[in-house]
C-alpha cells in the first residue's frame, strides 16, 4: 500500500505558482536549490512542495521555507520513482501553475516571475500550456558535461529563441495545472518521459513557450561512466513508455529495431545546429564529438533493450541518476552543489 503523509501550511491568497522539489535522502542535497528559490523576486507568491521519503527529514527544512507564500511537506513511500512524485504534485498543488525544480539546477532570481508573466497574458499569442526556461551549463569545464548539456538542453540554450517552441527543457518546465490535470491518466505516464507529455499537449492543440527570461543553471553529469549508464537507462525508459502508451505492434517494434543503428546519427542531425553553435562558441570541437556520439549510442542501446524487454520499474533505475548529483560530477565540481557559506557539517553530510 502506498502511504502518503502531508503537512500543508496556510497559503497566501496572492500565491500564483507552486514549485515541486524532491528531497531524495537528506536535507543537505536541496539546500542550494532552496537558497535560489528564497532569492526569487516573487517569493511571497510561491508555494513550495517538498517530496521526501520521511517526514522527519522534511521537518528539518521548515526554517528554510520561511517567507514563501506557503508550503507543503509530502512524505511518500514511493520516492524511488521521482516521476510519480512529480505527477502527484499536480494534484495537491494549490496554485494555477506548477514548476519542476531539481537539486542540481539553480534558478536565477527572476525565474519564477518570468514564468508567471509567461502565462499572464496572450499578448504574444495564445496562453501556453507549458513554459520552459533558458538553460545554462553550470559546470562548463568538462567536455562530457557539455556533451550531456547539448543533447538534453541544446534546444533551450539560446536567449533569442524566446517564443513558441516544439520542445522545452525537461524536468524544469512550468505547466498550467488545469491543462495537465485534464489529461487524466496520460499525465502520470507522460511525466515519466516528459518529451512524450509535451508531444501530447501539442497534439491536443496546446502551445509550448520557451521563456528565455526564466534562467536556470544546470549541473550536468560529468563523469563518463555514470553519464553513459544514465543514458542507457533513459533509452530503456523511453522505449518502455512509448510501447505502453502508443501500443506498438510487432511490426512497429521490428521497424524500430531495424532502424536502431541510425538513431545516434539521427539524434545528432536533430541537434546539429545547437551542437555546432555551442561547440563553436566554446571551442569544444572536435573534443565534444566523441562524448556526444557515445551518449547517443548508449541511449540507443537502452532503447533496443526497452523494445525487447520493456520494464515499468526501469523508471526507478533512471531516477537514481536524477538526484544527489554530487555522486556523478567530478570532485572539483562538487562545491558547485553547495549553498553559499556552507558549513563543515553540510560539507561532511554531502561527502565533500
Task: For residues 339 and 30, give the distance between their C-alpha atoms in angstroms, rounded to a whole number.
Answer: 9
Domain boundary (168, 184, 218) is at: 218
Per the structure, the complete domain to which residue 328 belongs is given by 224-349
Dihedral sign for Cα atoms in the order 251, 254, 259, 260: positive
Of 321, 328, 138, the residue nearest 235 (C-alpha): 321
Task: For residues 29 and 105, give the distance between their C-alpha atoms in angstroms, rounded to a whole number.
Answer: 11
Same structural domain, 38 and 141: yes
pLDDT of residue 123: 46
Dihedral sign for Cα atoms in the order 170, 176, 182, 188: positive
Same structural domain, 229 and 195: no
* Reported confidence tier of residue 1, pLDDT bands at 50, 70, 90: very low
Mean pLDDT of the chain: 88
pLDDT above 50: residue 327 = yes
The pTM for the full model equals 0.91
Same structural domain, 207 and 261: no
Domain boundary (186, 218, 250) is at: 218
pLDDT above 70: residue 240 = yes
* Reported confidence tier of residue 188, pLDDT bands at 50, 70, 90: confident
- Give the number of domains in the chain: 2
User: pLDDT tens, 136-183?
Assistant: 999 999 889 998 998 899 889 888 888 999 999 999 999 999 999 999
User: pLDDT tens, 195-238?
Assistant: 889 999 999 999 999 999 999 999 999 999 999 999 999 999 99
Same structural domain, 179 and 282: no
Same structural domain, 193 and 253: no
Domain boundary (190, 218, 246) is at: 218
Same structural domain, 123 and 264: no
At 290, phi and psi to the nearest 5? -65, -45
Same structural domain, 55 and 183: yes
Same structural domain, 176 and 275: no
pLDDT above 90: residue 286 = no
> What's 3's DSSP letter?
-
For 174, residues 6+ apart whose C-beta sits below 8 A from its C-beta are 17, 97, 98, 99, 100, 115, 118, 119, 130, 131, 132, 133, 211, 214
Same structural domain, 99 and 191: yes
Same structural domain, 214 and 104: yes
Task: Please compute the mean of the pLDDT values over residues 20-32 and round it to a whole number.
Answer: 90
pLDDT above 60: residue 258 = yes
Q: Is 344 helix (H, G, I), strand (E, B) or coil?
A: helix
pLDDT above 50: residue 275 = yes
- Cβ 194 vs Cβ 170: under 8 Å: yes
* Reported confidence tier of residue 245, pLDDT bands at 50, 70, 90: confident
CATH code: domain of residue 140: 3.90.550.10
| DSSP class per residue in 18-54 | EEEEE--S-GGGGHHHHHHHHT-TTGGGEEEEEEES-
Task: For residues 224 and 242, give the distance between their C-alpha atoms in angstroms, rounded to a whole number.
Answer: 27
> What's 261's DSSP letter?
G
User: pLDDT tens, 104-134?
Assistant: 999 999 999 999 999 986 545 679 999 999 9
Same structural domain, 200 and 240: no
pLDDT of residue 342: 55
Same structural domain, 138 and 279: no
- Cβ 19 vs Cβ 99: under 8 Å: yes
| Cα-based angle 324, 325, 326 (whole degrees, multiple of 5) | 90
| DSSP class per residue in 264-290 | HHHHHHHTHHHHHHHHHHTT-TTTTHH
Half-sphere exposure of 63 (CA within 13 A, CB side): 3
Amino acid at each position: 500500500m502506498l502511504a502518503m503523509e502531508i503537512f500543508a501550511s496556510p497559503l497566501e491568497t496572492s500565491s500564483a505558482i507552486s514549485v515541486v522539489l524532491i528531497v531524495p535522502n537528506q536535507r543537505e542535497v536541496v539546500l542550494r536549490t532552496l537558497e535560489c528559490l528564497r532569492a526569487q523576486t516573487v517569493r511571497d507568491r510561491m508555494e513550495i512542495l517538498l517530496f521526501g521519503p520521511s517526514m522527519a527529514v522534511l521537518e528539518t527544512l521548515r526554517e528554510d521555507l520561511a517567507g514563501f507564500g506557503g508550503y507543503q511537506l509530502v512524505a511518500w513511500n514511493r520516492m524511488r520513482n521521482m516521476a510519480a512524485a512529480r505527477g502527484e504534485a499536480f494534484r495537491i498543488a494549490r496554485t494555477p501553475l506548477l514548476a519542476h525544480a531539481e537539486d542540481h539546477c539553480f534558478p536565477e532570481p527572476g525565474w519564477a516571475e518570468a514564468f508567471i508573466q509567461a502565462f499572464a497574458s496572450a499578448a504574444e499569442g495564445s496562453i501556453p500550456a507549458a513554459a520552459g526556461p533558458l538553460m545554462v551549463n553550470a559546470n562548463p569545464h568538462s567536455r562530457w558535461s557539455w556533451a550531456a548539456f547539448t543533447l538534453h538542453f541544446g534546444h533551450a540554450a539560446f536567449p533569442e529563441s524566446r517564443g513558441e517552441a516544439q520542445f522545452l527543457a525537461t524536468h524544469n518546465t512550468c505547466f498550467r495545472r488545469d491543462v495537465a490535470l485534464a489529461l487524466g491518466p496520460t499525465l502520470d505516464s507522460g511525466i515519466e518521459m516528459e518529451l512524450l507529455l509535451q508531444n501530447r499537449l501539442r497534439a491536443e492543440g496546446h502551445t509550448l513557450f520557451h521563456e528565455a527570461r526564466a534562467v536556470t543553471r544546470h549541473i550536468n553529469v560529468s563523469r563518463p561512466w555514470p553519464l553513459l549508464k544514465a543514458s542507457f537507462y533513459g533509452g530503456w525508459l523511453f522505449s518502455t513508455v512509448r510501447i505502453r502508451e502508443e501500443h506498438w505492434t510487432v511490426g512497429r517494434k521490428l521497424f524500430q529495431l531495424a532502424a536502431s543503428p541510425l538513431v545516434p546519427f539521427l539524434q545528432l542531425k536533430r541537434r546539429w545546429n545547437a551542437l555546432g553553435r555551442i561547440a563553436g562558441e566554446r571551442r569544444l570541437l572536435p573534443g565534444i564529438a566523441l562524448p556526444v556520439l557515445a551518449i547517443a549510442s548508449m541511449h540507443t542501446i537502452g532503447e533496443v533493450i526497452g523494445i525487447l524487454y520493456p520494464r515499468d520499474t526501469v523508471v526507478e533505475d533512471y531516477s537514481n541518476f536524477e538526484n544527489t548529483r554530487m555522486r556523478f560530477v567530478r570532485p572539483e565540481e562538487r562545491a558547485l552543489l553547495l549553498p553559499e557559506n556552507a558549513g563543515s557539517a553540510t560539507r561532511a553530510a554531502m561527502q565533500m
